[in-house]
């Protein structure tokens, strides 16, 4: 079974006829995405052929990393690290290197603490930067290169450094000049749409995850988007959230009762935030981890301004079991839980939240997976990317650019004398 999407609660807040019309338009936008020629060079994420590259090379390098490295450093920011991190942080650690992230901060404290983790360890790194112009990965590559240069020979560094960027970029040249393995970041794939390119694939494989299953998930969702038109979850979700937006719902919170999804929801926030927030428009994306965050924003969700959409990412089988054993002698007031498993308790809390927030006027949406696995991540990533592209185009913005982020960079680079 794939991902099940439940939109009934949100749909019941909307006019049926308007929704029907918008869904038909969303299906047309989706069809057009797949049929049109990629003149702007932004649609490379659509198919396996235009995303997945160098798979055998990636698998071989990942095996070497897993055998020889204690630490694997993923250097990248935004779309260049979030998809991989979303999966790696959610799935159980396999035997193999510790995965460490750099190139995603300018904090000297964090950089120093992270470098400390590398001391005395066998280190490999993958530097991921589409055009190799971004400050964080570019500057950290230099620091890490120098760190490695004082510990490894030139030949050894050539084995241990992988660079992932576009063909023709300075990063590719550095790779060629120094004998580093170069992985291609396809030009027609934007960072936040790069989950199925070498950007996401090498980190996943190096973490010991099953990239074939991950790509199977992608292909299942792609087939669904191609074959099922108006009934595809991507189209239905895009239509519902756009109609909600037109009715004043301009914040969408992605929530999960699984803390392991926290980095996945961070990826989702970036995907929708960078794709839709432009021209003074867009649904503001936010994320919360329940049940913890019910104790901070639960009150607002229940009774605050009614401009919120709440999208649950649920999982049927949490893949773990912890039972509450009876303990009558303590009279702690929690005997009603005796014999219950936390899988049941967590599920009950999720159902109760769904009912309470829905009843309080929040249009609730649910994406439900059978389990947290490489395959379900492949499906979720693909559905959300396709939905985001359709949703952005329905709203009349370009979901593939991010001109706005250049603004702060101009003053920052001026201050740094670039």
Residues that bind ligand PA5 (CB under 6 A): 77-80, 129-131, 134, 137, 190-192, 274, 402
Of 9 and 130, the one with the shorter C-beta distance to ligand PA5 is 130
Told to judge if 274 belongs to the known catalytic residues of this protein, a careful annotator would answer: yes
Rounded Cα gap, residues 312 and 3, in angstroms: 12
HSE-CB of 266 using CA atoms within 13 angstroms: 18
Residue 102 in contact with residue 114, Cβ under 8 Å?
Answer: yes
Of 139 and 307, the one with the shorter C-beta distance to ligand PA5 is 139
Minimum separation from the CB atom of position 44 to ligand PA5 (A): 12
Residue 379 in contact with residue 229, Cβ under 8 Å?
Answer: no
Minimum separation from the CB atom of position 118 to ligand PA5 (A): 22
DSSP per-residue codes, 343-407: HHHHHHHHHHHHHHHHHTT--EEEEEEEE-SHHHHHHHHHHHHHHHHHHHHHHTS-TT--GGGHH
CA 24 to chain CA centroid, Å, is 28
Tokens representing 195 are 């989950």
Of 79 and 86, the one with the shorter C-beta distance to ligand PA5 is 79
Minimum separation from the CB atom of position 332 to ligand PA5 (A): 48
Minimum separation from the CB atom of position 165 to ligand PA5 (A): 8
CA 154 to chain CA centroid, Å, is 35
Identify the H or E element spanning 5.
strand 4-6
Of 2 and 392, the one with the shorter C-beta distance to ligand PA5 is 392
Of 166 and 346, the one with the shorter C-beta distance to ligand PA5 is 166
Of 114 and 270, the one with the shorter C-beta distance to ligand PA5 is 270
The catalytically annotated residue of 252, 274, 350, 379 is 274
Minimum separation from the CB atom of position 200 to ligand PA5 (A): 12
Tokens representing 235 are 């189209």
Q: What is the DSSP letter of 37?
A: -
Q: What is the largest CA-CA distance in the chain?
A: 72
Of 81 and 232, the one with the shorter C-beta distance to ligand PA5 is 81
The catalytically annotated residue of 39, 49, 295, 407 is 295
Of 131 and 398, the one with the shorter C-beta distance to ligand PA5 is 131
Residue with the CB atom nearest ligand PA5 in the bound state: 191
Q: Which residues contact 156 (CB under 8 A, 6 or more apart)?
A: none
258 vs 103, 196, 214, 346, 372, CA distance in Å?
27, 23, 20, 9, 10
Minimum separation from the CB atom of position 189 to ligand PA5 (A): 9
Minimum separation from the CB atom of position 403 to ligand PA5 (A): 11
DSSP per-residue codes, 258-298: -GGGHHHHHHHHHHHHHHH--TT--PEEEEEETTGGGGTTH
DSSP per-residue codes, 14-32: S-HHHHHHHHHHHHHHHHH
Please state whether beta strands 98-102 and 71-75 pair in parallel, antiparallel, or not at all (unpaired): parallel
CA angle 360, 363, 368 (to 5 degrees): 115
Catalytic residues: 274, 295, 409
């Amino acid at each position: 079974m794939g991902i099940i999407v439940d939109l009934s609660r949100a749909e019941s807040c909307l006019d049926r006829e308007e929704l029907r019309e918008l869904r038909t338009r969303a299906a047309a936008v989706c069809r057009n995405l797949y049929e049109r020629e990629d003149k702007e060079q932004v649609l490379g994420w659509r198919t396996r052929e235009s995303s997945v590259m160098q798979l055998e090379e990636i698998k071989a390098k990942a095996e070497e990393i897993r055998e020889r490295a204690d630490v694997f450093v993923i250097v990248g920011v935004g779309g260049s690290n979030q998809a991989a991190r979303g999966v790696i942080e959610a799935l159980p650690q396999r035997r193999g290197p510790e995965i460490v992230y750099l190139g995603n901060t300018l904090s000297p404290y964090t950089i120093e603490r992270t470098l400390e983790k590398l001391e005395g360890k066998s280190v490999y790194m993958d530097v991921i930067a589409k055009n190799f112009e971004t400050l964080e990965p570019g500057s950290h590559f230099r620091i890490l290169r120098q760190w490695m240069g004082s510990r490894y020979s030139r030949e050894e560094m050539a084995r241990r450094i992988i660079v992932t960027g576009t063909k023709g970029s300075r990063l590719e040249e550095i790779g060629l000049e120094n004998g580093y393995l170069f992985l291609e970041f396809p030009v027609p794939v934007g960072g936040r749409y790069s989950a199925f390119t070498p950007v996401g694939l090498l980190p996943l494989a190096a973490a010991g995850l099953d990239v074939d299953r991950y790509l199977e998930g992608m292909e299942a969702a792609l087939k669904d988007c191609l074959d099922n038109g108006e009934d595809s979850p991507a189209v239905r979700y895009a239509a519902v959230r756009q109609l909600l937006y037109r009715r004043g719902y301009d914040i969408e919170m992605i929530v999960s009762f699984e803390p392991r999804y926290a980095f996945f929801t961070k990826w989702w926030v970036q995907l929708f935030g960078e794709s839709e927030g432009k021209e003074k428009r867009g649904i503001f994306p936010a994320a919360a981890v329940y049940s913890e965050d019910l104790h901070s924003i639960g009150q607002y969700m229940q009774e605050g301004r009614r401009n919120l959409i709440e999208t649950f990412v649920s999982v049927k089988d949490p893949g773990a079991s912890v039972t509450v054993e009876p303990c009558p002698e303590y009279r702690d007031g929690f005997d009603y839980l005796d014999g219950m498993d936390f899988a049941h308790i967590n599920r009950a809390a999720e159902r109760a939240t769904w009912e309470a927030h829905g009843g309080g006027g929040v249009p609730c949406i649910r994406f439900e997976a059978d389990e947290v696995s490489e395959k379900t991540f492949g499906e979720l990533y693909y559905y959300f990317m396709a939905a985001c592209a359709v949703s952005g185009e329905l709203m009349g913005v370009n979901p593939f650019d991010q001109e706005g982020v250049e603004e702060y960079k101009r003053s920052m680079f001026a201050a740094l004398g670039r």
